[in-house]
Amino acid sequence: MSQLQEHLHNILHRNYRINKDCFILLIYDTESSLAKLLSETYQQEIKSHQHKAINFPTVAESVVEEAIASLPAHSLVILVQSLSFRMTKHRLRADLFRAGHMVIEHARLALNTDDQIQNYIDSLQYDTPYYVQATTVMEKLLQENTQLRIESGHDLVLEIDSPFEKPLKNTGDFSDNPIVAAGFPIGEIFTEAKELEKMNGSVLVFGFPTLEHKTHFCEPFEVKIKDGCVIAHNGPALFEDILQRIKTEEVNGAVQVREIGFGLNRGIGFEKTLHEPTAFERFAGMHFSLGLKHAMYAKKLGRKVYQKYHIDIFCKVKNVFIGDTQVMKEGKYMI
């Protein structure tokens, strides 16, 4: 069994715990190297189950709609997408979940370069027991403390002095959920300050998505934050373009920092990158989101506040303390 097939086998049988009677629908394309590799390996892995495979770009939309409409209850649908399949205004994953089906999603694979394929394979390794253990500890710390201290290199410190919103976890432990849908890779816990303005200091950033939705990696640069908003940086012009877009198109005319993310995936990191930003935010390190938009905490700002942007920045941090407890030392988690 190849390394990739082993990882996909574990996703199916250890994360999703499918039984022998589960019907599986694979919807895929082969328009990128990574999508082709994943779809071929999934087809090997599901051949002993009742299944159907559809090459999305080669058929009429009605064929896909018909296949989905005829699915047995509680089927598993696997989406392997070079970009993202859309047939309605909603994401296909959301439509399938609402219909009561389990979903495994691999999206925007074409954004990752061929030399990152091994990194993506490594990011799919089964690490759920570690994710569960680490997020359990960190959730408790975030709920019991009102201070977060993040130390980057060059004596840069970012401090958040606020209670935190209920942390949300992405561990791959679906044991309590009969219907599940997840985008892979996984491995993350995130929150945000209840008082967004209580974030001050500086942090080092080494990557951020461009307007083309592809992560730009560069020499780490300093980002200064005051009262919860980005006020200065010494990064590239591409980063300034992002900030200006946010400032001019969001109602507060500022660059709000919202999500505080702790990625836990040990298959990817500072030297093992992925250009697809939603996948890379799970890297074993920290990220923050810029802009007013956050789907999980949307109600906090109220419906009257137009929330347009959610752009993750990937940080190079050394030491992290939640309250008095150090959770990261020299860039490595201590949990």
Question: pLDDT digits over 12-30, tens only?
Answer: 999 999 999 999 999 999 9
| Residue 19, φ and ψ in degrees, nearest 5 | -100, 175
Query: What pLDDT sits at residue 122?
Result: 98
Does the structure show a pLDDT above 70 at 118?
Answer: yes
Please tell me the distance from the alpha carbon of residue 65 to that of residue 82, in angstroms, as a whole number: 20
Provide the β-strand partners of residue 320: 150, 328
Residue 125, C-beta contacts closer than 8 angstroms, at least 6 positions apart: 7, 10, 266, 267
Domains defined for the chain, CATH in brackets: 3-111 (3.40.50), 129-333 (no CATH)
pLDDT digits (tens, 9 = 90+) for 29-83: 999 999 999 999 999 999 999 999 999 999 998 999 999 999 999 999 999 999 9
What is the value of pTM for the model shown?
Answer: 0.94
How sure is the predictor about 316, in pLDDT bands with cuts at 50, 70 and 90?
A: very high
Please tell me the distance from the alpha carbon of residue 141 to that of residue 333, in angstroms, as a whole number: 14
Six-digit token string for 174: 């679906």
Q: 308: how many CB neighbours lie within 10 A of its CB?
A: 12
Exposed, middle or buried: residue 194 (CB in 10 Å: 0-12, 13-18, 19+)? middle
Q: Characterize the bridge pairing of strands 257-263 and 188-191.
A: antiparallel
Percentage of the chain beyond pLDDT 70 is: 98
pLDDT digits (tens, 9 = 90+) for 121-179: 999 999 999 999 999 999 999 999 999 999 998 899 999 999 999 999 999 999 888 77
Query: What pLDDT sits at residue 90?
Result: 57
Alpha helices (H) in the chain, listed in sequence order = 3-10, 33-46, 61-69, 92-98, 117-123, 128-144, 237-249, 277-280
Six-digit token string for 169: 């976890």
Does the structure show a pLDDT above 80 at 306?
Answer: no
pLDDT digits (tens, 9 = 90+) for 87-114: 765 578 888 888 899 999 999 999 999 9
Query: What pLDDT sits at residue 88?
Result: 65
SS3 7: helix
Query: What pLDDT sits at residue 297?
Result: 80
Residue 14, C-beta contacts closer than 8 angstroms, at least 6 positions apart: 126, 128
What average pLDDT does the structure give for the chain?
94
Query: What pLDDT sits at residue 308?
Result: 84
Least confident span in 81-95, 98-112, 221-235, 244-258: 81-95
| Contact status, residue 208 vs residue 311, Cβ threshold 8 Å | yes
Does the structure show a pLDDT above 90 at 1?
Answer: no
Six-digit token string for 324: 């008095």
